[in-house]
Structure 1
Amino acid sequence: MEYPRDMKNRLKRIEGQIRGVLRMMEEEKDCKDVITQLSAARSAVDRTIGYVVAKNLEACIRAQTEKGESADDVIKEAVQMIVKSR
């Protein structure tokens, strides 16, 4: 699967958030501020996981449909991926 640019950009933003958290720790910033930024990064990762799974699911369902096959197994696998990421 070729990953779209917007998906890669999401990960680059998360990478920047994590670097920012590390910088905050090195500068001994307030613990509450560090936790707030870590929570924001975690939320961004969760949203990105959902986005990646959704895009992959969409592509797989299209492929299954074009073959004339049921997409049930693909959907089950996607649900399992989402559940495991939580």
Structure 2
Amino acid sequence: MVQTTSAQLKNRLRRADGQLQGILKMVEDDRDCRDILTQLAAVRSGVERMMGVVVAENVRQCVAAGQLTPEQQTELQSALDLVVKTH
């Protein structure tokens, strides 16, 4: 995995871990379930986005840059950006 992507994923994982620790505290403090569900949804969204980043990076690594024309590279990047955005 590309170093930048690896660092980005580590940061996202740390953020998700912090959110989960916050949710744990919310449960311990007997906070309103709506607040807890809102935070859980945020964690889920972050994890889904990380999954998209991992898939996109895997595809990027499987397709060597020399195999594609510049136009195809642009199209591939657009498709990968969409995968990341929608996950």
TM-score with structure 1 setting the length = 0.68
The residue number in structure 1 matching 2:64 is 62
- AA aligned opposite 2:31: K
The residue number in structure 2 matching 1:49 is 51
Counterpart Cα distance in 2 of 1:55 and 1:2: 8
1:13-32 superposed matches below 5 A:
13-32=15-34
Task: Tell me by how many angstroms 1:7 deviates.
Answer: 1.3
Higher relative contact order (CA 8 A, sep 6+): 2
The residue number in structure 2 matching 1:72 is none
Gaps of 5+ in 1: 66-81
Counterpart Cα distance in 1 of 2:25 and 2:64: 44
Report the number of matched residues: 67
- AA aligned opposite 1:35: L
Task: Tell me by how many angstroms 1:57 deviates.
Answer: 1.0
Task: Tell me by how many angstroms 1:20 deviates.
Answer: 0.7
* Secondary structure at 2:15 match in 1: helix
Counterpart Cα distance in 1 of 2:64 and 2:14: 28
Which 4+ residue blocks in structure 1 deviate beyond 4 angstroms? none
* Secondary structure at 1:29 match in 2: coil
Counterpart Cα distance in 2 of 1:26 and 1:51: 33
The residue number in structure 2 matching 1:35 is 37
The residue number in structure 1 matching 2:14 is 12
